[in-house]
Amino acid sequence: MSKLKTDYLVIGSGIVGLSFAIKAADHGKVLIITKGKSDESATSYAQGGIAAAIGKKDFPKNHFEDTIKAGAGLCDEKAVDILVNEGVMRVQELIELGMKFTRNEKGELDLGREGGHTKNRIIHAHDYTGREIENFLLEMVRKNTNITIKENHMAVDLITEHHISKNKNKNKNEKVESCFGAYVLDDENADIYSIVADFTILATGGGGRMYPFSTNPSVSTADGIALAYRAGCRVRNMEFIQFHPTALFYKIDPVFLISEAVRGFGAKLRLQDGSLFMKNYHPAEELAPRDIVARAIDFELKKRGEDFVYLDITHKSDEELESNFPNIYNTLKKKFKINMSKEYIPVVPAAHYMCGGVIVDYDGCADLKFLYAAGETASTGVNGSNRLASNSLLEGLVFAHRAFVHSLKLKEENAEKYKKEFEEQIPEWDKGGAANLKEWVLIKHELQELQDIMWDYVGIVRSTPRLEKALRRIDSIYREIRDFYNRTIITRPLLELRNIALASQLVIRSALNRKESRGLHYNTDYEENTSPSRNDTILEPAIYKKSHFNNC
């Protein structure tokens, strides 16, 4: 196979990719590629729920204020306004489609509360909301004859004018304006071919696997961010990595998350000597924003030379806990032999969410025409320097919808027709190289080294000397990976390693460019800046020159 053609190419099968595909399928053929199984996405691991102001005593303005406060001065207020207002409609739409959320005895939605929220507004399906939404949307997708899913398929690179100009032996540094689809690896058949699409959306999630301890699944290797940056798109605020405060302290990959909703239900954090400590860090104590709770835990652990703190919810009964948190309660009890109604839960922070990403406008448009990005891959401006709990699934729904609506507008204008002259000129992938398994073993070891560097030097608390040292070492690793990539047969592990290394570079460079401590970026060499004024960190690829936001 050398080339496929589709109306819509969706890269990723989480809440963004699936919800976009379902809507787009009414207007054309949709092809979803996912590098593993269809249900293996960060969405499936989301326990808490979806934040939306649908309670009787809650309003979008309340949700807006909480989001802005959590973002510590870096939120785009217009983007947040879109999120909290349109988010209510998107959640109601999901319910009308048939998604079942947990309800109370009166039949009303059971609204939970999490850190940073001043109201109970977390709509959930017990404590496995993401998994239920993933399965619900996948069922709809599989029934739709206009949607095809290709599992074990991974995007290698986005197709742009750059590839066409190379084929014509023109200046490879000429202006790059459009996305024509992607070169894709069929992992099972070790084949790379092109998928040409009128519209492409990056829905690949984040890059938590840059770190050795992460709540993210193994597929979270920053693929969409790396694809877009290599193709010439800007990225923003990559330094803001959210560490979830309460991952189970146990050697398992990915680490098991203890949802923030457990603290919303009354759980307290205790040191190993049993004493409470969050009252020393924030008036909201355990319900403070995630960056504050994670830093407090990190500080206490380093001060005492200990490996974990405890989460205590032993004042609740077995019946209450199993009813409200069936997944967490039963997993802890059966798999880890911890009865959370009688025993403290050992917890530690773990890499959880990327608040930065590919710069998009309010319609999800990236810097290349016909290219969209949404969810954790994108930087919409919603999250600022710290994402408010349970805004992630909502953001995915809202901006996937806006991207779909925008693509319809372009379709009606026949804007995609301008691309036809280029499609025939797209070259086949040059497979080149030969497998060098002996050398691959050496390169593979560099993943562990990379993760250790990120954990030790680019973690919850940073310093400029540590960041500079990390950048020197990551730069060296990335050069070796690129050299090996150019000389060998391409595989999924190699692509993931290349993407993780590039994303790590972007995180460190962004962190060095931020001369302050703010939100999730805490540098001991700089005072914390609480100013409400925005000062985004933007990294722009140097090899391409183009106008930004070409209206997709």
CA distances from 475 to 222, 429, 483 (A): 17, 27, 12
What's domain 3-239+355-423's architecture?
3-Layer(bba) Sandwich (3.50)
Least confident piece of the model among 289-303, 424-438, 465-479:
424-438
Nearest alpha-carbon partner for 195 in 426, 480, 504: 426
As a three-state string, the secondary structure of 244-272 is: EEEEECCCCCCCCECCHHHHHCCCEEECC
For residue 383, what are its two tokens? Answer: 């999250």
On whether the 246-350 domain is CATH 3.90.700.10, my answer is yes
| Upper half-sphere CA count for residue 48 (Cβ side, 13 Å) | 29
Question: Residue 547: what pLDDT?
Answer: 46
Question: Residue 536: what pLDDT?
Answer: 94
Strand order in the sheet with 357-359: 378-379, 357-359, 235-236, 538-539
Question: Residue 22: what pLDDT?
Answer: 97
Q: Which residues are catalytic?
A: 290
Residue range 437-533, CATH number:
1.20.58.100
The residue that leads in pLDDT, 435 or 411, is: 411
pTM assigned to the model: 0.91
- Residue range 251-295, pLDDT digits in tens: 887 889 898 889 989 999 999 999 999 999 999 999 888 888 999
Structure confidence at residue 198 as a pLDDT band (50, 70, 90): very high
Q: CB of 140 within 8 A of CB of 97?
A: yes
Domain ranges of the chain: 3-239+355-423, 246-350, 437-533
Same topology between domain 246-350 and domain 437-533: no
